[in-house]
Amino acid sequence: MRHAIRLLASPSTLGSSAGFNPAPLALLPPIPLYRRILRAHRKFLKTEMRLLGDEYVKSEFRAHKSVENPIHIVGFLNEWQRYAQEVEGESWHGTKLDTEKIDKMSDQQLGQLYELMQAIQKKGREDPEGDI
C-alpha cells in the first residue's frame, strides 16, 4: 500500500512540454487583471507612456464591459494578461506585432491600432529627447 501512495504522490508530466515552457497561467478575472495592468504601468512605464497606456486600458475595459460572448471574453482577458506579463517582464521594448495577430484583427481593431500609433508618434514629436 505504501508503494501505491508514493505513486499517487509522484510529480506528473501532464501539461508540460519539452523545452521548459511554463504551462499557461489561469486567466485572472477582469477586475484583478485591470488592477494588475494599472499597477504594472505605474511601476514599469515612464509618466508619458503610463498616461497614454492607462487611458487606453480604461477605455478598452469599459468598451468590453457588456460583452457576453464567452469566446470573446476569454480572448480579451488572455491578450491583456499576456500584455501585463510583458510589461512586468519589460520584454516588450523594441518588439513588433506578430503579422498573424494583425491579419486576425478586424477593421475596427486596425483603426484603433492606427490611432494608438498616431498618439505615440505625436508624443514623440512633442518630446524630442526620446523619453518615450
The values of phi and psi at residue 30, to 5°, are -55, -45
- One-letter amino acid identity for 86? E
Q: What is the dihedral of CA 88, 79, 37, 65, to 10 degrees?
A: 180
- Average pLDDT of the segment spanning 114-123: 83
What gap in Å lies between CA 44 and CA 49, rounded to an integer? 10
Residue 41: predicted pLDDT = 94
Answer yes or no: is pLDDT of 102 > 90.
no
Cα→Cα distances 43→12, 40, 54, 73, 125, Å: 36, 5, 12, 26, 25
Range with lowest mean pLDDT among 6-15, 63-72, 78-87, 102-111: 6-15
pLDDT above 90: percentage of residues in the chain: 36
- CB of 83 within 8 A of CB of 37? yes
Range with lowest mean pLDDT among 15-24, 36-45, 56-65: 15-24
For the residues of 1-18, what is the DSSP string, one character each?
Answer: -HHHHHHHTSPP-TT--T
- Confidence bin at 1 (pLDDT 50/70/90): very low
- Average pLDDT of the segment spanning 87-103: 80
Q: What is the dihedral of CA 11, 77, 65, 108, to 10 degrees?
A: -160
Please count the other Cβ atoms lying within 10 Å of the Cβ belonging to residue 49. 16
